[in-house]
Structure 1
Amino acid sequence: MSVNHGISNSGFSVFHYKLKDAPTCQTQIFVRAGSAHEDDDSWGVAHFLEHLCFQGTPTKDKHQMSREMSLAGNANAYTNNFVTSYYIETLKEDIETGFSLIKEAVFDSCFPEKEFEKEKNVIIEEWRMYDNYPSEYFHDKVMTNSFGEKDMHAIIGTEDSIRQMNPEKLHRFRNKWYGKNNMSIVFVGDLEFEEAMEIANKHLPEYSSSEESFSCLNEFLPKQEKFLFETDRFEQSAYGVITKWPSSKENHQNNLIGNFFSFCLSNYMYEYIRDDLGLCYGVSSSKIKHLDNSYNLISMLTRNDYLEKAEKELEKLFQKIKEEGFPKQIFEISKKKILFSQMKTLADVGSICYAIIAGCFTDKDGSWFLEKGQSTLDPGWVKKSAEMLTEDALKKFANEQLNDFTKFSMFSKK
């Protein structure tokens, strides 16, 4: 199967992927705008707007919207630094109803005044939840030091920016970024391309272009080899490294070997730093992708008095990997896990939707993904590519990554 692409009668870009015999369908309306596109006085507005889109339209209050969506399927939305996406997963016979409801939320929401302040309080509580996690705090610090506050400030905003949010800021952001030139529709499931286009043509409104269109993330250019920041908010400290992967446009397998390297390094760090030395509770890995830039952050939380020792032990581990590569069992386990992960993705309508969205961000118009990149959705290609991954190739990749990375430490003063 391949990804189909068309333009609706009202001018929206529509992507479709038929997943034969899938028990459900998913449709997403995604906007090429997230927190990185916010004005300095409106941090958190992309996420706030996502919340308010479900709070009512001129003809439906939030309870009616919620009940109709629940009757059709499972609806939700997410915001990241570069994308806002609204989606619903339904049975095949309900996909048109589901799409019409998501369309109403995105295009017809009116930000009722009585709901605005209530939702503001909800988002402040959500902010407090994240703000109390040392791992979230560390991640935000790493991102802002790497890419700058403009592109990588906290998606939810700050407590002050949330409190100062008003309907005018939401309308300004929506007018600036929500337009047919900056939005796309995705359908995935056991339905034909013609069915998807018929639904899109029937329900998508005549809608103007946005004031702004797609913009790019700043290049990651570390100013120093190591960043250290202190905090008195938590009793835990943290350590992490961030690396940049080579271009996936130059070689389809770069993304796969990048993921493979992350699996291996996370597993090896966990075995050595956590299991053998007892210096941390766990190891996490997160990926950032925007256009043709891919970055990976691998981090761990540890005790204050363990931080210096953990750093030294990791330096020793990295040197060992560069000289010897990864242990054979770590290599085989990670290879199996990444194949399992990729195959699981290709059997899930939501994961395929997300993969299409991510693939379309390799360049501005998605043309590279449609022409070449969508081979990553082919189970045969994924399996063959995984089988081609060798210990020597991974060792070479590890040497490139571990010779060019930036270290981050968060030291707790508590």
Structure 2
Amino acid sequence: MINFWIPLPIELRLVLLSLTGVLLGVISNYAIYNLAWDRRPIGPWCRAHPDAPARSISDRIPILGWLGMRRENHLHGKGFWIRPMGIEVAMSIGIPAYYWYVTQTASLLPIGFRAPKDIVAAESWMTTVFAAHLVLITIMVAATFIDFDERTIPDLLTIPGTILALIFSWCSIFIFLPWDAPNWPEPITFASPSPIAMDWLGPKGWWTAILIWTGWCFALANRRVILRHGLAKAVAYFVASLVRRYNWQLLVAIWLAGSIAIRVAYSFGGIPWISLLSSLVGLGVGGGVVWAIRIVGSVAMNREALGFGDVTLMAMVGAFIGWQGAVMAFFVSPIAAIAIVLVYFILTRNAEIPFGPYLCAGTMLTILWWDDFVSGWFVGNFAILGQFMLWLFLALLGMMGVMLYCYRVVSDRFRGE
């Protein structure tokens, strides 16, 4: 497919990608209004509101069709059509612009490898990265606006996205972004910047992969534990709640299928196994960091600190861009939050917004400035600090818990609770 795509004139590729961006904008809008918990009959591709005028063919023309949809203002609110039309316009412009940024300027490569000959040599790899990011970007757009609307991110977005990321990684290690290797940029795998140890090709890697996969499937189940009647009753209640949940058979099927696929990949070994393991480690670290913060924050504040959709979102991000990028994206997200809060407050006069949009924006900032953020700052510091970074994270996590607990105590005392 890439061998067919790259020889096309760049002007034709950009036009096709602009049309693709429009289509992905339509898909994003459909997901925003139909995968949300509170589905709304907004848009020409869903069932119309009972009181809405009959839909016409012109309504289904992307971008322009929203001008005709203005006639439903009395049902959905004045100006409801502006945001979905803006999403389609933005993606029709942004997707070809991002393609140019990734493949024609090679801005994701280390700065020393952006000469014309290097760009030509890396174009196939960067096209693969771009294709994987199309999926990631589309899901993040839908997740961002559903989170704005409902303060939740549906599993129907993040579960398929995570599985697609694992499939992409199994097919090609070149979905991963580069880091500055001594001679030529290489994909940043789970072991970078250190050389890949041979024992990861053996049982150590296999058990790591299975544990991460099992943990992810478990995270999607009903995890509520009730201890007030003793441990034996808690286990019985826990198992009963798992089986009683409507989708437990689907989760078991996903776990079995994934475990078999991991075993097959492990038996083949080599680069496909390293690539799949890299994606799984990204899944585990990306989701695990947010899950740990969610647990500590919830215990300290005595209420939910982060939605579990944020956990599954970052697990998906880690599966696409690796654990290094996922960690960096999480810590970059507060920078993105400043701009998002300002824009959101200007538009809505509401400064309280969910964390999912921050994480998505932080992910895009991390990708766009990959060479500076990850290949430069993160990988450089990891090479120096090594495993000490884990202890540093745990220490910061503990400090965060203490500070949040103190904040809760002081707040409750001021409120007289």
TM-score bracket for the superposition, by shorter chain length: under 0.3
* Larger RCO, structures 1/2 (Cα 8 Å, 6+ apart): 1
- Tell me the TM-score normalised to structure 1 length: 0.27
Structure with bigger strand share is: 1
Structure with bigger helix share is: 2
- Tell me the TM-score normalised to structure 2 length: 0.27
